[in-house]
Structures are given as C-alpha cells and as structure tokens.
C-alpha cells in the first residue's frame, strides 16, 4: 500500500492562561497528518503529531522540516495493511527521537486501514458510544481562579479532580485542597495532584506527608525527572502513592526504570512516549509488576484526543483517565467527542470538522 502524505500545521489558542509549574501556556502548535492511498481514492486517514514545548524530546526547532522530509521519504514505502504489522513497521521506520510524529503516523495509517472514519482499532468508545470516566483538571493560577475552576468542575458532576500544584505558595494550595475536602470527603470525591516535578528532593517527603493528610489519591511527578535514586526513595517512603509522568519520556529500557523506582502508578501520554505500540508495552510491564496506570492526553487537538480515548477504551478502564483537554481551545476542531458528568463519550451522529 503506497501512500501520499500531507502535513498541516495549526496553532491552537487556549481559552485562558493555562498555568503549570513550568510556565503559562497561551497557545500550542500541532501538526495534522493526512494519509491517502492510491488504491483507495477519496479515503483519508488523519493523525496528529503534537510535541509539547519544554517537555517532549521532539520539541525541537526543525521538527516541521524533519517530519515533512520523512513523510516525503515514506511515500516510497510499501506499507502493510495488517494492524499489528503496520504498527511494528512504523516503529522501525520512525526515529526514536520523534515520538509525537510516530504517534501521528500510527493514527493516520490505522485510520486509513479502517476506512477513514477516525477509528483506529476495535474499541467500545467508538463503536458503542461507551463513556470513559475522566478527571476534571484544575490549572494553576491565582487562588480565586483555581477556586472558580474547582467549583465549576464539581457542579459539572466530576467525581475525580486533578489539581496542578507547585506554582503558587504551597500553603495556599493546601488551603484550596482543604476547601474541597471540607465539602467533599474521600468517599465522594477523588483528589489527584500533579506537581510536574516542582518539589526539590529535600522538601518533597515533608510536602507529601501534608498532602496525605487530605486523603489525596496520588501525586504525579513530585520531583524533576531523571533523579532515579531520589524518586525510588520517595516511592518507598511516601505515605502518598506516587505516579510517574515526565519520568517515562525518552526511556529506552522500560523494565529497568520500573524495577529501579517501583512507583505505585504510571501516567501514559502516547504523544510523549511514542504512540500506541509503546504505550501498550508500558501497560504490559506495569501490570506484570502490579503497578497502576491511567492514560492522559497531552494537550492535543480533538484528533489526538480521540485516538487516546480509543486506546484507553480498549482496556475497559474503570478509574478516571485524563482525557478532558479537548475543551481548552478557542479553535479546536468540532468533533463527536462529548464531555458530561465526568465522562467523555463519542456520539457518532455528530460530524467531524475536517482539518484544513
């Protein structure tokens, strides 16, 4: 199967200033990948390559140049049409330093193989409209802004809230969490926090002990990635379950990392770890070791979010996933993805807006 590829860059604009401990986001760049087969005129597969600035290993100045050249080169490749075989073929073809591009190419070709309907493989999310529980994400900002987000998410029926911490005063963040807990106990509302590596190793354990007093479900990446010995110590001593996030980016020996750190959970972002195949490998290794996991989008447009939701659905998740970021942008593509009462679902009666 010989393919023709088109690359369409788009800047997505946030509806508000999205704060993290790494800075404030007002926009982000993404690249939509269009795949067409000469043997199936009119059928189109869509994918998305969306590296995150300051985080993805492929957030590099010449990303656009590199992927356009690769797409041109790949038009000479005879791609297979079996789902598993094509994933293996893409893994072999795409350099490891371009995980977001690998994910985008996987999406585009699998979509094409399955009829150009934005379906990537068998899953109840797309085929049966089965809803997936998700967490409500609270972005960093001043106290009033964060509190308004909390109130809004609870009113919308979320039973799990994830709050980003580490940018404002820690005691103010604790007060916000106490505010939530004063109204909703642990049996009523699951609370997760994400530090994005904001704590120093010296202060981390003390802060984790304070957070644990509020029945926090877990904390993502309390210290900066790459401090393996310190993270392993924290996972052993912390009264609060720790989830690795940034720690998984650019890792070649997955088993070794999990065996060294022994985390309670891992957070899987297919854009950052290299797509469907790599994510499935992480899940298999985690489950072998009794490590929990959930999937999270990485600020992709609705094209990428749809793909991640379908991948999550194939595992029949029962705990909330991090799949609510499609509502962040003024100029996202309209899509069949709907969020209500703390769940995301796919309504096939709603048409997609085609990328342009």
CA distance 53 to 30: 11
Full DSSP string of 31-68: EEEEEEETTSTT-EEEEEE-PPTTTSTT--TTHHHHHH
| Whole-number Å distance between alpha carbons of 145 and 143 | 6
The gap from C-alpha 245 to its chain's centroid, in whole angstroms, comes to 10
How big is the CA angle at 193 (ends 191 and 198), to the nearest 5 degrees?
Answer: 165
Query: Cβ(91)–Cβ(97) under 8 Å?
Result: no
Q: How far apart are CA 54 and CA 195, in angstroms?
A: 15
As a whole number of Å, the end-to-end CA separation of the chain is 25
> Is 164 annotated in the active site?
yes
User: What CA–CA distance (Å, rounded) separates 173 from 166?
Assistant: 8
Among 34, 162, 164, 207, the active-site one is 164
Task: Verify whether residue 34 is a known catalytic residue.
Answer: no
Interstrand relation of 190-194 and 160-164 (parallel, antiparallel or unpaired): parallel
Relative orientation angle of helices 302-313 and 276-288, to the nearest 10 degrees: 40
| Active site positions, annotated | 164, 269
């Amino acid at each position: 199967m010989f393919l023709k590829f088109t690359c369409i860059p788009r800047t997505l604009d946030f509806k508000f200033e999205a704060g993290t401990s790494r800075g404030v986001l007002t926009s982000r760049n993404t690249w939509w990948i269009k795949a067409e087969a000469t043997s199936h005129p009119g059928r189109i597969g869509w994918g998305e390559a969306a590296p995150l600035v300051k985080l993805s290993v492929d957030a590099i100045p010449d990303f656009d140049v590199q992927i356009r050249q690769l797409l041109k080169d790949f038009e000479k490749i005879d791609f297979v049409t079996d789902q598993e075989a094509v994933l293996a073929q893409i893994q072999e073809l795409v350099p490891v330093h371009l995980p977001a591009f690998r994910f985008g190419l996987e999406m585009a070709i699998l979509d094409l193989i399955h009829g150009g309907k934005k379906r990537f493989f068998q899953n109840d999310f797309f085929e049966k409209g089965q809803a997936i529980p998700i967490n409500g994400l609270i972005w960093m900002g001043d106290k009033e802004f964060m509190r308004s987000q909390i109130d809004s998410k609870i009113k919308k029926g979320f039973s799990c809230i994830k709050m980003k911490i580490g940018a404002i005063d820690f005691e103010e963040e604790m007060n916000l969490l106490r505010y939530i807990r004063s109204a909703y106990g642990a049996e009523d509302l699951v609370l997760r926090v994400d530090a994005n590596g904001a704590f120093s190793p010296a202060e981390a354990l003390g802060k984790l002990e304070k957070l644990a007093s509020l029945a926090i479900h877990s904390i993502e990446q309390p210290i900066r990635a790459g401090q393996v010995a310190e993270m392993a110590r924290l996972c052993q001593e912390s009264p609060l379950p720790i989830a690795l996030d940034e720690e998984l980016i650019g890792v070649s020996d997955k088993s070794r990392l999990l065996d060294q750190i022994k985390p309670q959970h891992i957070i899987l972002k297919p854009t950052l770890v290299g797509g469907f195949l790599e994510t499935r490998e992480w899940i298999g290794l985690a489950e072998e070791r009794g490590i929990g996991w959930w999937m999270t989008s990485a600020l992709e447009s609705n094209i990428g979010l749809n793909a991640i939701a379908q991948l999550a659905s194939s595992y029949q998740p029962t705990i909330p996933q991090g799949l609510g970021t499609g509502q962040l942008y003024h100029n996202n593509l309209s899509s069949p993805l709907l969020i209500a009462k703390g769940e995301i679902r796919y309504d096939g009666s709603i048409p997609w807006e085609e990328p342009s």
